[in-house]
C-alpha cells in the first residue's frame, strides 16, 4: 500500500499510521472510521455524474462543455424578461441549482468519501465506484467534460461565462489528492491515471492561457487564492514541479501582501454578506498552498511579509473573532458549517506546532468531534501521528 500512495496535500506517513491504527482496533478512531464507512456505503449509490446530464446545452452547442450560472444573480423584477440579471450578494438563485456546478460538487464529495473509505478499509467496491465516477466525468468519450470553463458562472443578459466561474473547479485540487489514495486498487489502472493526467494537463494550460484564467489570476480575494491552489495541485499531479514552485515562490507571497491586513483581517472577505464562510474558505486555500509548497521546498507556513502579514496571523485573527469572541461581528446571512473550523484548527495545530488550537476544537459544541473525518486525514498530534 505504501508504495502505491501518492499525495501532495496530505502526509503519507500520517495516513499510513492512521490506517495501521484502525486495523489494530484503536478505539479513539472507531467513531470516525464507522461514520466514514457508513457514508461510503451511501456514496455507492450516487452518480455517476456528467456534464451531459444537464437539460440545456452550452452556447457552443456541445453538451460536453461545462456550464453554470452565477448563483447570486437574479432577474430584474422591473424588466419584462428579467434581463439583465442583478446581483444579490449571498442570496442563491435556485435557477443555478440545475447547472453543472452542483454535479461537479457532488462528484468531488462522493469521490472524497469513497477514496478515503477504500484507503482505510481495502474494500474494493468503494474503489470501483470511485473509478466509475472519475471515468464518467473525465475520460469517457461520450460523457466526459471538455477541459475548459468558458461557460462557467454565466449571467443571463450580461455574459455567457466569466473568470469567476473558475471557482467552480476549486475542488479539483482535493479530487486529484483522492485519486492518490486509489493507487493500490485494480479499479484505477495506469491507463486511467494517464488519461486523467492528460485531461488535467489540458485544463491547466487553459487556466494559464485563457482570458478567463488570466482574469481570475488577477483577483485579490479568495477567487485568486483558489486559482493558485488549482494551478499548484494540477501542476504537481502532472509532474510540472517547476511551475508549482514558481507559483509558491512568487504568486502566493503577493496574495498574502494584497489580501491580508497587518492584524490578520481579510478586508475583501469580511465585507461580504457570508463573511465568515468566505474568511474560512480563503484560509483553507492558504493552508492548501502552504502544504503544497512543502512539496517543492517553499516554506509558506512561516512566511512573513510586510508589517508581519502571514498565514498564521490571519488564522489567529479568524480564531479570535469566530471562536473566542462571543459572536461573529460581521455579516453572515447563511448557516456556517463549524466542522470546517475543526479542519482548520487541526491543520493549524499540526503545522504551527501549537496545541492550543486543539483546545479550541474541544469548544466546538456544534460539531460531533469524535466522528469527524478530520481525525483520520489530519490526526491529532500524539501517538497516532508519531507511530
* Per-run averaged pLDDT (10 residues), the chain, 387 residues: 82 96 97 98 98 94 96 94 95 91 97 98 98 98 98 96 97 97 96 98 98 98 98 98 98 97 98 98 98 98 97 98 97 97 98 94 95 97 46
Q: How far is CA 343 from CA 266, 288, 289, in A?
A: 19, 12, 15
pTM, two decimals, is 0.96
Contact at 8 Å (CB) between 145 and 66?
Answer: yes
> Contact at 8 Å (CB) between 68 and 310?
no
C-beta separation of 334 from 274 below 8 A? yes
Q: Name which of 117, 137, 226 is nearest 178 in CA terms.
A: 117
> Taking the alpha carbons of 187, 188, 189, 191 in that order, is the dihedral positive or negative?
positive
Confidence (pLDDT) at 114: 98
Burial of 27 (0-12, 13-18, 19+ CB in 10 A): exposed
Residue 4 is predicted with a pLDDT of 74
In angstroms, the CA 387 to CA 382 distance is 8
What's the pLDDT at 2? 58
Cell match 465568515: residue?
276
Per-residue b or e along 129-138, where b marks 16 or more CB atoms closer than 10 Å to that residue's CB: bbbebbbbbb
* Whole-number pLDDT of residue 243: 98
The greatest distance separating any two alpha carbons of the chain, rounded to the nearest whole angstrom, comes to 66
Amino acid at each position: 500500500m505504501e508504495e502505491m500512495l501518492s499525495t501532495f496535500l496530505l502526509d503519507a506517513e500520517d495516513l499510513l499510521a492512521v490506517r495501521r491504527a484502525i486495523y489494530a482496533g484503536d478505539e479513539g478512531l472507531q467513531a470516525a472510521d464507522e461514520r466514514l464507512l457508513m457514508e461510503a456505503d451511501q456514496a455507492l449509490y450516487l452518480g455517476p455524474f456528467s456534464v451531459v446530464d444537464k437539460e440545456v446545452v452550452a452556447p457552443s452547442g456541445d453538451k460536453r462543455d461545462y456550464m453554470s450560472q452565477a448563483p447570486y444573480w437574479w432577474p430584474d423584477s422591473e424588466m419584462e424578461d428579467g434581463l439583465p440579471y442583478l446581483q444579490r450578494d449571498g442570496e442563491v438563485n435556485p435557477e443555478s441549482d440545475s447547472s453543472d456546478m452542483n454535479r461537479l460538487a457532488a462528484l468531488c464529495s462522493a469521490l472524497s468519501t469513497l477514496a478515503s473509505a477504500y484507503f482505510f478499509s481495502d474494500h474494493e467496491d468503494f474503489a470501483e465506484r470511485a473509478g466509475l465516477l472519475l471515468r464518467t466525468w473525465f475520460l469517457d468519450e461520450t460523457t466526459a467534460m471538455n477541459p475548459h470553463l468558458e461557460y462557467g458562472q454565466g449571467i443571463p443578459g450580461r455574459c455567457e461565462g466569466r473568470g469567476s466561474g473558475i471557482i467552480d473547479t476549486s475542488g479539483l485540487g482535493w479530487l486529484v489528492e483522492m485519486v492518490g489514495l486509489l493507487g493500490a486498487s485494480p479499479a484505477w489502472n495506469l491507463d486511467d491515471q494517464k488519461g486523467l493526467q492528460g485531461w488535467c494537463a489540458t485544463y491547466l494550460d487553459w487556466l494559464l492561457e485563457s482570458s478567463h484564467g488570466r482574469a481570475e489570476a488577477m483577483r485579490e480575494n479568495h477567487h485568486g487564492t483558489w486559482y493558485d491552489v488549482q494551478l499548484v495541485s494540477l501542476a504537481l499531479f502532472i509532474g510540472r514541479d517547476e511551475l508549482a514552485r514558481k507559483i509558491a515562490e512568487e504568486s502566493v507571497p503577493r496574495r498574502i501582501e494584497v489580501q491580508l491586513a497587518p492584524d490578520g483581517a481579510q478586508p475583501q472577505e469580511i465585507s461580504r454578506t457570508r463573511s465568515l464562510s468566505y474568511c474560512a474558505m480563503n484560509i483553507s486555500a492558504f493552508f492548501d498552498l502552504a502544504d503544497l509548497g512543502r512539496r517543492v521546498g517553499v516554506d509558506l507556513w512561516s512566511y512573513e511579509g510586510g508589517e508581519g502579514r502571514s498565514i498564521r496571523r490571519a488564522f489567529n485573527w479568524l480564531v479570535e473573532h469566530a471562536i473566542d469572541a462571543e459572536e461573529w461581528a460581521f455579516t453572515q446571512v447563511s448557516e456556517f458549517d463549524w466542522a470546517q473550523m475543526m479542519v482548520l484548527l487541526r491543520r493549524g495545530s499540526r503545522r504551527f506546532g501549537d496545541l492550543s488550537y486543539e483546545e479550541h476544537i474541544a469548544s466546538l459544541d456544534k460539531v460531533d468531534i469524535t466522528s469527524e473525518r478530520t481525525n483520520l486525514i489530519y490526526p491529532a498530534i500524539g501517538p497516532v501521528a508519531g507511530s
